[in-house]
Amino acid sequence: MKIVMIGSGYVGLVSGACFADFGHDVVCVDKDAAKIDALKANIMPIFEPGLDTLVRNNVARGVLSFTTDLNEAVSGADAIFIAVGTPSRRGDGHADLSYVYAAAQEIAEAADDHTVIVTKSTVPVGTGDEVERICRETAPAKTLAVVSNPEFLREGAAIDDFKRPDRIVVGSEDEWAQDVLREIYRPLYLNESPILFTSRRTSELIKYAANAFLATKITFINEMADLCEKVGGNVQDVARGIGLDKRIGPKFLNAGPGYGGSCFPKDTLALLKTAQDHESPVRIVEAVVNANDLRKRAMGRKVIGALGGDARGKKVAILGLTFKPNTDDMRDAPSIAVVQALTDAGATVSAYDPEGMEEAAKLLPDVLMADGPYAAAEGAHALVMMTEWDAFRALDLTKMADIMAGKALIDLRNVYQPDDVAKAGFDYTSIGR
Ligand code: UGA
């Protein structure tokens, strides 16, 4: 199959490289010439474990290539995937679909007759209908099927998620388009990954419902963590105690500083907007969005509390800045709210992150970026475990305590065990324990 990916960002690049690895012939297109030049030189625009090797191998095999020329790329394609960004529209939280619609028009102009256009970008219910309308208006003589095929990739684990998905969702009622998608995903089908065919609108909604549900699960356990702190419970035991119930399941029950990233915050907001537009309230998701916003700010207060309530003139070291490990993504990272609260309260902040400091420096210009965890902690009154990178799981806590000026350790990811931390002489604050 010849597959074209429009948009060589996170989703387009990972999906394109994985499709090529399955043996399809893939061309990744992007308007950003600098990005395409870099990709041709095997320089990835994002940090994602294993992606550079996957890209290099498939470029070498001649099944993956990069171009800025959409017209040339789509000629002869069986399927053209739209994987462009859908950021939150400034001001109102609606997903900004201008890139999707612009791509649809260009594709319709350039595609061969009888081509499948697949929307992989996360788009609100009904977007596929509009893409179809644009295609019909732009190229009335061509038969173009518009299909929804949402992605469920986690940053940092995207290649594995792509190759071993829990399910593949395809929204289309066109039988010939379903056949094309079935063929594209056949390598996964053989691994027994279920492929679910639904209507296009249902498929669009599944993506939002999945992310909103996961955000709800995290927010639920975060609030249980707060309650544990008040009543003397242990949230990790609560998570285990409920997670062993197969109806609940053990995953996404790690209490922390609140969810961040490019997906949950944006997608929950977009779902609220869709629900409002259709006068069908999603009150649980509304509560989740509010609780998560409040939580990120509360984490700053938690750190200040561990400093005795006054951060003025104090130095705070933060380990991990990205919204989760194994990514350099800083979008909506809880660290941003924590740093803001600390600097507002008069503290100076130093930090170390294995991959995220370049991105973080753009958003947090006042933070002193250190060379490593110990360098960040030198002379600090408090140490905050912000993101649970593997590199922070086995720190020499005694050494850490020796080089610090104070003894507060605030572990917002429950990486450490209270007994181990106490032995090193720290005053330990964690989440829900
Ligand atoms: C999420 C979904 O997990 C993917 O299935 C989906 O495809 C993706 O959004 C998307 O829409 O593109 P991602 O944002 O990469 O993936 O990261 P997650 O691993 O889901 O984590 C999101 C946030 O929740 C992070 O801030 C993480 O620290 C937090 N989290 C996650 C918790 O606080 N506790 C948990 O138990 C799990």
pLDDT tens digits, one per residue of 284-307: 999 999 999 999 999 999 999 999
What φ, ψ does residue 81 adopt, rounded to 5°? Answer: -95, 135
Distance CA 330, CA 353 (A): 11
C-alpha of residue 264 to centroid of ligand 1, in Å: 7
Decide if 251 is inside a domain.
no
Q: Give the pLDDT confidence score for residue 88 in this predicted structure.
A: 79
Q: Give the pLDDT confidence score for residue 87 in this predicted structure.
A: 83
Decide if 50 is inside a domain.
yes
Last residue of a domain, one of 169, 197, 225: 197
Q: State the CATH number of the domain containing residue 319.
A: 3.40.50.720
Q: Give the pLDDT confidence score for residue 42 in this predicted structure.
A: 95
Cβ partners under 8 Å of residue 347, min gap 6 = 304, 307, 311, 312, 313, 314, 315, 316
Decide if 323 is inside a domain.
yes
Mark the ranges of the chain whose per-residue pLDDT is less than 70: none
Pair 90, 58: CB distance under 8 Å: no
Q: Give the pLDDT confidence score for residue 90 in this predicted structure.
A: 73
What φ, ψ does residue 309 adopt, rounded to 5°? Answer: 90, -5
The answer on 299 and 193 residing in a single domain is no
Ligand 1, atom nearest to 251 Cα: 36
Tally of structural domains, the chain: 2
The answer on 56 and 179 residing in a single domain is yes
Decide if 206 is inside a domain.
no
Q: Give the pLDDT confidence score for residue 161 in this predicted structure.
A: 96
Distance CA 356, CA 75 (A): 38
What average pLDDT does the structure give for the chain? 96
Which pair of tokens denotes residue 249? 């399941």
Distance CA 374, CA 180 (A): 53
Q: Give the pLDDT confidence score for residue 89 in this predicted structure.
A: 79
**Residue among 13, 155, 206 whose CB has most ligand 1 atoms within 8 A, to mutate:** 155
To the query of whether residue 263 is one of the catalytic residues in this protein, the response is: yes
Which pair of tokens denotes residue 127? 């977007």
Which pair of tokens denotes residue 350? 């130093």
Of the listed 28, 135, 228, 263, which one is catalytic?
Answer: 263
Q: Give the pLDDT confidence score for residue 400 in this predicted structure.
A: 97
Decide if 359 is inside a domain.
yes
Largest Cα separation within the chain, whole Å, is 75
**DSSP reduced 3-state for 315:** strand
How does 229-251 read in b/e, with b if 16+ C-beta sit within 10 Å? beeeebbbebbeebbeeeeeeee
Distance CA 66, CA 61 (A): 14
The answer on 296 and 193 residing in a single domain is no
The answer on 25 and 135 residing in a single domain is yes
**Whether the CB of 46 sits within 6 Å of ligand 1:** no
The answer on 179 and 60 residing in a single domain is yes
The answer on 163 and 54 residing in a single domain is yes
Strands (E), 332-381: 348-352, 368-369
Distance CA 348, CA 258 (A): 23
Q: Which domain holds residue 181?
A: 2-197
Distance CA 105, CA 75 (A): 15
Pair 367, 395: CB distance under 8 Å: no
Helical (H) or strand (E) element with 140: none
Decide if 236 is inside a domain.
no
- 0.85 cut: is pTM over it? yes
DSSP 32-54: -HHHHHHHHTT--SS--TTHHHH
Q: Give the pLDDT confidence score for residue 370 in this predicted structure.
A: 98
The answer on 146 and 28 residing in a single domain is yes
Q: What is the pLDDT of residues 337-392, one digit of tens each?
A: 999 999 999 999 999 999 999 999 999 999 999 999 999 999 999 999 999 999 99
How does 282-316 read in b/e, with b if 16+ C-beta sit within 10 Å? beebeebbebbeebbebbbebbbebbeeebeebbb
Which pair of tokens denotes residue 80? 């053209």
DSSP 113: S
What φ, ψ does residue 187 adopt, rounded to 5°? Answer: -55, -30
**Whether the CB of 260 sits within 6 Å of ligand 1:** yes
**Whether the CB of 331 sits within 6 Å of ligand 1:** no
Last residue of a domain, one of 181, 197, 213: 197
Last residue of a domain, one of 152, 181, 197: 197
- Integer angstrom CA distances of residue 10 from 267, 280, 333, 352, 361: 16, 32, 17, 24, 21
Q: Give the pLDDT confidence score for residue 311 in this predicted structure.
A: 97
**Residue among 167, 324, 330, 336 whose CB has most ligand 1 atoms within 8 A, to mutate:** 324
Decide if 202 is inside a domain.
no
Decide if 261 is inside a domain.
no
